[in-house]
Structure 1
Amino acid sequence: MTTVSVRERVAAKKRSSKTQDNIVYAAVWLACLTPLVWLTWRVFSDDLGANPIEALIRQIGVWGLRLLLVGLAITPAARILKQPRLLRFRRTVGLFAFSYICLHLLTYIGVDLFFDWRQLVKDILKRPFITLGMLGFTLLIPLAVTSTNGMVRRLGRATWQRLHWLIYLIVPLGVAHYYLLVKADHRPPLVYAGIVAVLMGWRVWDAWGRARTKP
């Protein structure tokens, strides 16, 4: 086999891999945008129940939490399925989660409170579920800001990784926020709490296994 043919095969393989990545990226974007399109359609079709504002705020927040859980699940999935390429989509999912949570907060402040900042401060101080939600959102901001390759280089990989360990605090705060928000049926937040427990447990088990295999 000549050097030229080898190069051509390598180049063709790279093109095929890039095409596959682009298709998967498009599917990830579509999957992440679909809930927002669906909620928009429900708003215009008056299909959000007796209290549409509360339902809209809650549903946007729930989808943000779901995407955070998907982001947490990517690493275990990549390791278990032996598909490290899945890790490439972790940042995209995380940024979509942040966008949904920003929209959740903006809808609450703008539509529900009409930008009454004094009332917002009162809610943060007096309502525990809002306190936890704002704490989680505040901790999420530095993760979103440092999500670029440039910030990884500036901070250094080790520092960047330590900073992004905040996600292991942010997601439980989001689940607690949801649990305290719900007045009757606590089953959905409890399901999410169970998923968080499984994902965290897998990480502890994986770290323990790696420590055992180190020479």
Structure 2
Amino acid sequence: MDPLSITAATIAIIGSISSTYNAIQHLRGLPKAFLGVGQNLPLVKETLELARSQLQGPSDESVKKAIEPVIHDCQEKAIALNKIFDELEKAMKQEKDANDWSALVNFYRKTVVYMGKSHKVETLMQELLNNLKWLAIHQLFKVTGQGLTVKLENAINELSVVEPSLPDSDFDMKGTNITQTNSDNARGFVSTGRHQENTMGHKFHSAGNMSFGLKTDFQESTDV
């Protein structure tokens, strides 16, 4: 898509995130990182709308080409944020009486750990704001850029010192999940994780290593 279409699509995604944020912002114990993300959604929308307005007017094709990768990255960060907020919205529907963050934190942890450390909500928002700051100081914004840049810089600095929504220790590899497919000729398998599953549907749990050998229907006689 061209930069204008990407920008319009990203604005719609930010609207979706804002809608979900409104549903969770009153949860007791909601991490300050989420509050920081929510507070900056209007600034993100404002900046993207300014970009769309500028792109709708006559502009140099070289400018559009230069900003396209940045606009595209903004969209990717917004999509990732939206995915996380969508999961939280599903969790809220599942936990109908949820009024505390403790009811949703495991859903959030599972989603973000799977996606990776760089997908904590505050990190995604920081990267999104950094991209928008780059746009604000670019030729695209001209006169409007200076005041906007200050607001974006302040938002980035505030997010940089916010308490993380998840500790880094949650991303450590504390165990592995392994699926083993055994053929007729398999001699067995060894798992060094905490969860082993074979194709017969059996699950084995252990805090240490597990070794499984091939069990036969007969025992070789030692008689001479």
Rg larger for: 2
Same fold (TM over 0.5): no
User: Which of structures 1 and 2 has the larger relative contact order (alpha carbons within 8 angstroms, sep 6+)?
Assistant: 2
Bin of the TM-score, shorter chain as denominator length = 0.3 to 0.5
Q: TM-score, with normalisation over the residues of structure 2?
A: 0.36
Q: Which has a greater percent of strand? A: 2
Q: Which has a greater percent of helix? A: 1
Q: TM-score, with normalisation over the residues of structure 1?
A: 0.37
